[in-house]
């Protein structure tokens, strides 16, 4: 009976995650409470994850990533992309990977994507290329870059914490670096060569057609105000 009840809760949880009837965090906390109320796990087991070193490390990563993103320290990548990117999609993806990939080895990939999104969109606007050619490769690049170090992704941190709990010891910071670099290099090469041929050339809502219809170019200008 316990097994059936547990599997039923797991199945219902997956359904909630799939259809997103409730926010993911609300669903996760609700499942924890239900398991404890039904005495499928003890209260100590139910809340043990909050004191896990891996959980605390992930929380610290988000704080660090948010701080770096807010300082604007990563905004210099805009100049590097414009300088080295060129006009061909293969070179642009490769350049983006060489800049964003190593960064995601030490900063949470969600924060890196959040910082790179406006940069890439501005880059696409200036180079007159479709953002659809670069945004999906950006997502995959940050995922691949996160494999370089233990703190690059939450999954690696959790695996390190689990290994320590089982008595095998925690992973060192560069435990996965050799394999991670190989995976990242192969993945980046594939994205740079294949992605431009597979991804559609879509125009966004703010395409040049709107500019032409309303003659916006005659009335809109861009200015850069430098400090001081």
- Dump pLDDT digits (tens) for 122-152: 777 777 778 888 888 988 999 999 889 888 8
168 vs 80 pLDDT, higher one? 168
Residue 190 predicted with pLDDT over 90: yes
Distance between CA atoms of residues 132 and 74, nearest Å? 22
Residue 13 predicted with pLDDT over 80: yes
Q: Is 176 helix (H, G, I), strand (E, B) or coil?
A: coil
For the question of whether the overall pTM of this predicted structure is more than 0.75, the answer is no
Residue 72 CB contacts under 8 Å (≥ 6 apart), including other chains: none
Q: What phi and psi, each to the nearest 5 degrees, are found at residue 39?
A: 60, 30
167 vs 118 pLDDT, higher one? 167
Distance between CA atoms of residues 201 and 131, nearest Å? 8
205 vs 75 pLDDT, higher one? 75
Distance between CA atoms of residues 40 and 188, nearest Å? 45
**DSSP structural state of residue 219:** T
Of the chain, the end-to-end C-alpha distance in Å amounts to: 71
100 vs 223 pLDDT, higher one? 100
Q: What is the pLDDT of residues 201-223, one digit of tens each?
A: 766 544 454 454 445 455 566 67
Give me the pLDDT at residue 81, please: 74
Q: Is 133 helix (H, G, I), strand (E, B) or coil?
A: helix
Q: Is 62 helix (H, G, I), strand (E, B) or coil?
A: helix
């Amino acid at each position: 009976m316990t097994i059936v009840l547990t599997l039923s809760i797991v199945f219902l949880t997956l359904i909630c995650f799939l259809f997103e009837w409730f926010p993911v965090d609300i669903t996760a906390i609700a499942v924890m409470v239900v398991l404890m109320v039904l005495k499928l796990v003890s209260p100590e087991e139910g809340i043990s994850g909050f004191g896990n070193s891996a959980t605390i490390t992930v929380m610290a990563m988000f704080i660090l990533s948010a701080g770096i993103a807010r300082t604007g320290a990563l905004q210099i990548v805009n100049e590097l992309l414009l300088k080295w990117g060129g006009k061909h999609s293969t070179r642009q993806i490769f350049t983006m990977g060489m800049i964003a990939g190593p960064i995601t080895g030490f900063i949470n990939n969600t924060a890196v994507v959040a910082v790179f999104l406006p940069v890439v969109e501005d880059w696409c606007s200036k180079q007159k290329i479709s953002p659809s050619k670069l945004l999906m490769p950006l997502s995959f690049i940050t995922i691949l870059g996160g494999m370089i170090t233990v703190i690059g992704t939450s999954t690696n941190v959790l695996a390190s914490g689990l290994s320590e709990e089982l008595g095998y010891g925690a992973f060192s910071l560069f435990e996965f670096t050799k394999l991670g670099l190989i995976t990242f290099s192969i993945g980046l090469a594939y994205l740079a060569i294949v992605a431009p041929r597979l991804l559609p050339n879509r125009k966004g809502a703010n395409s040049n057609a709107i500019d032409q219809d309303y003659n916006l170019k005659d009335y809109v200008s861009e200015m850069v105000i430098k400090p001081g």
